[in-house]
Amino acid sequence: MIRKIALITTSLLLFAGLLALVGFAQVEEQNAQYTGLDVDVTEVDGMFFVDAAGIKDAIFANDSIAGTFFADLNLAEVSEWVRAIPAVDRVVVYPGLDKIMHVRATQRKPIARLHSSADIEDIYIDSNGESLALSPYFTARVPVIHATSIEAAQPAISFIETIRHDQFWWAFCDQLTVKADGKLEVIPRIGNARIAFDSNENLERQLDKLFTFYHEQIRRGSLNDYKRIDLSFHEQVVAQRYY
Protein backbone atom coordinates (compact mmCIF):
# COMPACT_ATOMS: atom_id res chain seq x y z
CA MET A 1 0.00 0.00 0.00
CA ILE A 2 2.83 2.38 0.99
CA ARG A 3 4.68 1.57 -2.25
CA LYS A 4 1.53 2.33 -4.25
CA ILE A 5 1.09 5.70 -2.51
CA ALA A 6 4.77 6.50 -3.10
CA LEU A 7 4.42 5.62 -6.78
CA ILE A 8 1.37 7.86 -7.16
CA THR A 9 3.11 10.69 -5.31
CA THR A 10 6.20 10.36 -7.50
CA SER A 11 4.06 10.39 -10.64
CA LEU A 12 2.23 13.52 -9.50
CA LEU A 13 5.51 15.25 -8.71
CA LEU A 14 6.93 14.34 -12.13
CA PHE A 15 3.77 15.58 -13.85
CA ALA A 16 3.85 18.82 -11.88
CA GLY A 17 7.51 19.26 -12.78
CA LEU A 18 6.74 18.68 -16.44
CA LEU A 19 3.98 21.29 -16.33
CA ALA A 20 6.36 23.71 -14.68
CA LEU A 21 8.96 23.13 -17.39
CA VAL A 22 6.38 23.61 -20.15
CA GLY A 23 5.15 26.77 -18.49
CA PHE A 24 8.68 28.05 -18.12
CA ALA A 25 9.43 27.29 -21.77
CA GLN A 26 6.29 29.13 -22.86
CA VAL A 27 7.17 32.16 -20.75
CA GLU A 28 10.72 32.08 -22.12
CA GLU A 29 9.40 31.87 -25.67
CA GLN A 30 7.03 34.79 -25.10
CA ASN A 31 9.96 36.86 -23.85
CA ALA A 32 12.29 35.79 -26.66
CA GLN A 33 13.21 38.23 -29.41
CA TYR A 34 14.04 37.52 -33.03
CA THR A 35 17.66 38.13 -33.92
CA GLY A 36 17.31 38.10 -37.70
CA LEU A 37 15.56 36.88 -40.83
CA ASP A 38 16.51 34.04 -43.18
CA VAL A 39 14.73 33.69 -46.54
CA ASP A 40 15.02 30.85 -49.05
CA VAL A 41 13.28 30.90 -52.45
CA THR A 42 12.97 27.65 -54.38
CA GLU A 43 14.10 27.98 -58.00
CA VAL A 44 11.59 26.87 -60.63
CA ASP A 45 13.17 25.68 -63.90
CA GLY A 46 15.74 28.47 -63.84
CA MET A 47 13.09 31.17 -63.40
CA PHE A 48 13.67 34.02 -60.96
CA PHE A 49 10.52 36.11 -60.67
CA VAL A 50 11.13 36.74 -56.99
CA ASP A 51 14.28 36.52 -54.89
CA ALA A 52 15.20 36.54 -51.21
CA ALA A 53 15.97 40.26 -51.28
CA GLY A 54 12.49 41.06 -52.63
CA ILE A 55 10.82 38.98 -49.93
CA LYS A 56 12.93 40.59 -47.22
CA ASP A 57 11.93 44.03 -48.50
CA ALA A 58 8.25 43.05 -48.33
CA ILE A 59 8.66 41.88 -44.72
CA PHE A 60 10.83 44.80 -43.60
CA ALA A 61 8.22 47.20 -44.95
CA ASN A 62 6.00 45.93 -42.13
CA ASP A 63 8.43 44.91 -39.38
CA SER A 64 12.19 45.02 -38.80
CA ILE A 65 12.02 41.47 -37.30
CA ALA A 66 15.33 41.76 -35.39
CA GLY A 67 14.45 42.79 -31.85
CA THR A 68 10.74 41.96 -32.20
CA PHE A 69 9.31 39.72 -29.49
CA PHE A 70 7.99 36.33 -30.59
CA ALA A 71 4.69 37.12 -28.87
CA ASP A 72 4.24 40.38 -30.80
CA LEU A 73 4.53 38.88 -34.28
CA ASN A 74 1.75 36.88 -35.94
CA LEU A 75 3.37 34.39 -38.31
CA ALA A 76 0.19 34.22 -40.41
CA GLU A 77 0.49 37.97 -41.02
CA VAL A 78 4.11 37.58 -42.08
CA SER A 79 2.99 34.91 -44.52
CA GLU A 80 0.38 37.29 -45.96
CA TRP A 81 3.02 40.01 -46.44
CA VAL A 82 4.99 37.58 -48.58
CA ARG A 83 1.94 36.27 -50.44
CA ALA A 84 1.19 39.83 -51.51
CA ILE A 85 4.07 39.48 -53.98
CA PRO A 86 2.31 38.35 -57.20
CA ALA A 87 4.95 35.80 -58.22
CA VAL A 88 4.92 33.96 -54.86
CA ASP A 89 3.08 30.65 -54.74
CA ARG A 90 3.49 28.96 -51.34
CA VAL A 91 5.00 30.32 -48.13
CA VAL A 92 6.11 28.67 -44.88
CA VAL A 93 7.13 30.87 -41.94
CA TYR A 94 8.53 29.52 -38.68
CA PRO A 95 10.80 30.59 -35.79
CA GLY A 96 14.04 28.66 -35.37
CA LEU A 97 15.73 27.54 -32.21
CA ASP A 98 18.42 30.05 -33.17
CA LYS A 99 15.77 32.80 -32.70
CA ILE A 100 15.92 33.60 -36.41
CA MET A 101 12.69 33.83 -38.39
CA HIS A 102 12.84 31.44 -41.35
CA VAL A 103 10.79 32.02 -44.50
CA ARG A 104 10.56 29.38 -47.24
CA ALA A 105 8.84 30.43 -50.48
CA THR A 106 8.11 28.86 -53.86
CA GLN A 107 7.42 30.74 -57.07
CA ARG A 108 4.48 30.51 -59.43
CA LYS A 109 5.43 28.87 -62.71
CA PRO A 110 4.47 30.53 -66.02
CA ILE A 111 3.66 28.11 -68.83
CA ALA A 112 2.61 30.64 -71.47
CA ARG A 113 2.51 34.31 -72.32
CA LEU A 114 -0.83 35.73 -73.47
CA HIS A 115 -0.90 38.48 -76.12
CA SER A 116 -4.43 39.75 -76.58
CA SER A 117 -3.86 43.04 -78.43
CA ALA A 118 -1.34 45.81 -79.03
CA ASP A 119 -3.25 48.05 -76.61
CA ILE A 120 -3.22 45.62 -73.67
CA GLU A 121 -0.07 44.57 -71.84
CA ASP A 122 0.82 40.90 -72.13
CA ILE A 123 0.44 38.64 -69.11
CA TYR A 124 1.74 35.21 -68.19
CA ILE A 125 -0.51 32.25 -67.54
CA ASP A 126 0.77 30.07 -64.72
CA SER A 127 0.56 26.31 -64.19
CA ASN A 128 -2.80 26.76 -62.42
CA GLY A 129 -4.28 28.60 -65.40
CA GLU A 130 -4.24 31.95 -63.58
CA SER A 131 -2.88 35.28 -64.79
CA LEU A 132 0.50 36.56 -63.65
CA ALA A 133 1.88 40.02 -64.39
CA LEU A 134 5.09 40.34 -66.39
CA SER A 135 8.25 40.88 -64.39
CA PRO A 136 10.61 43.84 -64.94
CA TYR A 137 13.49 41.60 -63.82
CA PHE A 138 13.00 38.34 -65.67
CA THR A 139 11.47 37.10 -68.93
CA ALA A 140 10.22 33.52 -69.08
CA ARG A 141 10.92 31.59 -72.27
CA VAL A 142 7.46 30.14 -72.78
CA PRO A 143 5.14 29.83 -75.80
CA VAL A 144 3.16 32.93 -76.76
CA ILE A 145 -0.61 32.57 -77.08
CA HIS A 146 -2.53 34.95 -79.35
CA ALA A 147 -6.12 35.11 -78.06
CA THR A 148 -8.55 37.78 -76.89
CA SER A 149 -8.65 36.61 -73.26
CA ILE A 150 -7.68 33.79 -70.91
CA GLU A 151 -11.11 32.26 -71.48
CA ALA A 152 -10.64 32.36 -75.26
CA ALA A 153 -7.12 30.94 -74.84
CA GLN A 154 -8.32 27.70 -73.22
CA PRO A 155 -7.68 25.49 -76.31
CA ALA A 156 -4.08 26.73 -76.37
CA ILE A 157 -3.66 26.33 -72.61
CA SER A 158 -4.95 22.75 -72.82
CA PHE A 159 -2.48 22.10 -75.64
CA ILE A 160 0.43 23.46 -73.58
CA GLU A 161 -0.63 21.45 -70.53
CA THR A 162 -0.45 18.32 -72.68
CA ILE A 163 3.00 18.99 -74.14
CA ARG A 164 4.87 20.88 -71.42
CA HIS A 165 6.38 17.77 -69.86
CA ASP A 166 7.50 16.46 -73.25
CA GLN A 167 10.93 17.89 -74.02
CA PHE A 168 10.59 17.56 -77.80
CA TRP A 169 7.16 19.16 -78.23
CA TRP A 170 7.88 21.84 -75.64
CA ALA A 171 10.97 22.90 -77.60
CA PHE A 172 8.99 22.63 -80.85
CA CYS A 173 6.17 25.02 -79.97
CA ASP A 174 6.84 28.76 -80.34
CA GLN A 175 3.46 30.48 -80.73
CA LEU A 176 -0.19 29.48 -80.70
CA THR A 177 -3.16 31.31 -82.21
CA VAL A 178 -6.75 30.68 -81.17
CA LYS A 179 -9.12 31.57 -84.01
CA ALA A 180 -12.54 33.15 -83.51
CA ASP A 181 -14.16 29.73 -83.97
CA GLY A 182 -11.94 28.25 -81.23
CA LYS A 183 -9.67 26.33 -83.61
CA LEU A 184 -5.98 26.24 -82.81
CA GLU A 185 -2.97 27.00 -84.99
CA VAL A 186 0.60 26.42 -83.86
CA ILE A 187 3.66 28.22 -85.18
CA PRO A 188 6.68 25.93 -84.61
CA ARG A 189 10.30 26.85 -84.08
CA ILE A 190 11.35 24.72 -87.06
CA GLY A 191 9.89 24.95 -90.54
CA ASN A 192 7.73 27.71 -92.00
CA ALA A 193 4.33 26.06 -91.83
CA ARG A 194 1.42 26.98 -89.60
CA ILE A 195 -0.10 23.85 -88.11
CA ALA A 196 -3.87 23.52 -87.66
CA PHE A 197 -5.14 21.22 -84.91
CA ASP A 198 -8.63 19.84 -84.44
CA SER A 199 -9.85 20.31 -80.85
CA ASN A 200 -12.33 17.44 -81.31
CA GLU A 201 -9.70 14.82 -82.12
CA ASN A 202 -7.31 13.22 -79.65
CA LEU A 203 -4.29 15.50 -79.35
CA GLU A 204 -1.80 12.69 -78.84
CA ARG A 205 -2.96 11.09 -82.09
CA GLN A 206 -2.52 14.39 -83.94
CA LEU A 207 0.96 14.85 -82.52
CA ASP A 208 1.87 11.34 -83.65
CA LYS A 209 0.71 12.18 -87.17
CA LEU A 210 2.69 15.42 -87.12
CA PHE A 211 5.84 13.69 -85.88
CA THR A 212 5.61 11.12 -88.68
CA PHE A 213 5.10 13.87 -91.27
CA TYR A 214 8.02 15.95 -90.00
CA HIS A 215 10.32 12.95 -89.81
CA GLU A 216 9.59 12.12 -93.45
CA GLN A 217 9.97 15.71 -94.72
CA ILE A 218 13.23 16.22 -92.85
CA ARG A 219 14.51 13.00 -94.41
CA ARG A 220 13.59 14.36 -97.85
CA GLY A 221 14.93 17.84 -97.07
CA SER A 222 11.60 19.42 -98.02
CA LEU A 223 10.30 20.62 -94.66
CA ASN A 224 10.45 24.31 -95.62
CA ASP A 225 8.38 23.69 -98.76
CA TYR A 226 5.11 23.83 -96.80
CA LYS A 227 3.21 26.85 -95.54
CA ARG A 228 0.31 25.08 -93.85
CA ILE A 229 -0.20 21.66 -92.28
CA ASP A 230 -3.73 20.58 -91.36
CA LEU A 231 -4.19 17.75 -88.85
CA SER A 232 -7.96 18.03 -88.59
CA PHE A 233 -8.63 15.23 -91.07
CA HIS A 234 -9.03 11.76 -89.61
CA GLU A 235 -5.87 9.68 -90.03
CA GLN A 236 -4.52 12.17 -92.58
CA VAL A 237 -2.10 15.08 -92.78
CA VAL A 238 -3.06 17.66 -95.40
CA ALA A 239 -0.10 19.88 -96.28
CA GLN A 240 -0.17 22.96 -98.51
CA ARG A 241 3.01 23.84 -100.39
CA TYR A 242 4.37 27.21 -101.38
CA TYR A 243 3.90 27.91 -105.07
Distance CA 116, CA 178 (A): 10
Whole-model pTM: value is 0.78
Q: Are the C-beta atoms of 193 and 172 separated by less than 8 Å? A: no
Residue 237: partners with Cβ closer than 8 Å, 6 or more residues away: 209, 210, 212, 213, 229, 230, 231
Instruction: Give the contacts of 71 (CB within 8 A, at least 6 positions apart).
Output: 29, 30, 31
* Tens digit of each residue's pLDDT (9 = 90 or more) over 31-71: 799 999 999 999 888 888 899 999 999 999 999 999 999 99
Per-residue pLDDT reduced to its tens digit, 166-189 = 999 999 999 999 998 888 999 999
Sheet containing 88-95: give its strands across: 36-42, 100-107, 88-95
Q: Which domains does the chain have, with CATH numbers?
A: 36-107 (3.10.20.310), 110-241 (3.40.50.11690)
Report whether 104 contacts 40 (CB < 8 A): yes
pLDDT on residue 10: 52
